[in-house]
Amino acid sequence: MQSLTKIRTFTTALICFCSLGVYADTAGTIERLKGDATIFSENNAFATAREGAIIQVGDVIETAVGEMLIRYHDKAKMTIGPQTRLRIEQYSPAGTINAAMVFRLFSGYLRSVTGLLGKTNPGGFRIYTPMATVGIRGTDFIAQAGDSFTVAVISGTVEVTNDVRTTVVRAGNEVSFTGRSGQHQMSANLSSPMKALVESTQKVEDSAPNSEKEKEEEKEKEIEATPAIKGAAVKAAAAAGDSATGAANSNSSVKSNGSANSSSTDSSGSSGSSGSSGSSGSSGSSGSSGSSGSSGSSGSSGSSGSSGSSGSSGKSK
């Protein structure tokens, strides 16, 4: 018994270790790719990006004219725009020790929608850029690095920190920096260039096969269809009940009519038999005389019997 317990404990530990090992090396999967991109690993090897490829910690992603959607293990998603260079610095998903997602954006832009980590440990999410560091509180935002650094928040809240200050940016606002110690400019609305990036990244996300949006829409359709399905089932059951009732009534009516017809037939048969009997009586009476038989033949009623009586009178003569 003790040996069995030890084996089970060892197996459980091994499974946990392997799971942590997988997460320690991998971060997510390329869910959608439009155009060309290259992935450089820590050992200086590189490969052409493709849909379904695994993204590992330490990988550097470079896009040319392409756009890429990455889905991380905690359901976070990140859309990387053209002419972008991004490194996966650290990835320890929610539920693990020191859960964190850390990226370094050298140039270009990305859109990030946080997943479980953003809800359970938002302080563990950071994006380093040449001019500022981005932290989140559970959000959807775009970060663009170049000659200046701009963050536009679509939903939630973002904290942008440079060497001078930390600026809180809320949904619908954007902020731009000209350097790590330079002045920043806050805007209460998204600029036209940022709106264009929002639309562009949204198209990439919507085009992803089996995207979360499609799954949510399918669930909503199922929920909406459920009352209709139930209603149809109730109507069908009611119709089936009405049909069964109608069939029962029809059978009852047929049986009733059959009984009535049978009774009528029996009654008619009785009547015919009676008439025949009268005729027989008449015929029996007419045995004495042919004329009487003629008279008996002429009536099946009691009057024929009377004629038969006449025949008897003729015989007397």
* Bridging pattern class, strands 166-170 and 157-161: antiparallel
What is residue 137's predicted lDDT score, i.e. its pLDDT?
80
What is residue 147's predicted lDDT score, i.e. its pLDDT?
87
Residues 179, 148: Cα–Cα separation, whole Å: 7
What is residue 87's predicted lDDT score, i.e. its pLDDT?
97
Nearest-10 Cα torsion for 121, 57, 105, 120: -10
Residues 32, 52: Cα–Cα separation, whole Å: 8
What is residue 237's predicted lDDT score, i.e. its pLDDT?
64
What is residue 119's predicted lDDT score, i.e. its pLDDT?
85
- Tokens encoding 294: 């003629």
- pLDDT tens, residue order, the chain (317 aa): 444 444 443 443 443 434 444 445 899 999 999 999 999 998 889 999 999 999 999 999 999 998 999 999 999 999 999 999 999 999 987 777 788 999 999 999 999 999 988 888 888 999 999 999 999 887 899 999 988 899 999 999 999 998 888 999 999 999 998 877 767 788 889 999 999 999 999 999 898 876 555 556 656 666 666 655 556 655 666 666 666 555 555 555 544 454 444 444 444 444 443 433 333 333 333 333 333 333 333 333 333 433 333 334 333 33
Q: Helix 212-285 to helix 290-298 angle, to the nearest 10 degrees?
A: 150
Q: Tokens 């003569």 map to which residue?
A: 317
What is residue 302's predicted lDDT score, i.e. its pLDDT?
39
What is residue 106's predicted lDDT score, i.e. its pLDDT?
97
What is residue 200's predicted lDDT score, i.e. its pLDDT?
92
Alpha carbon distances (Å) from 167 to 111, 117, 308: 19, 22, 137
Alpha carbon distances (Å) from 96 to 55, 77, 121: 19, 19, 11
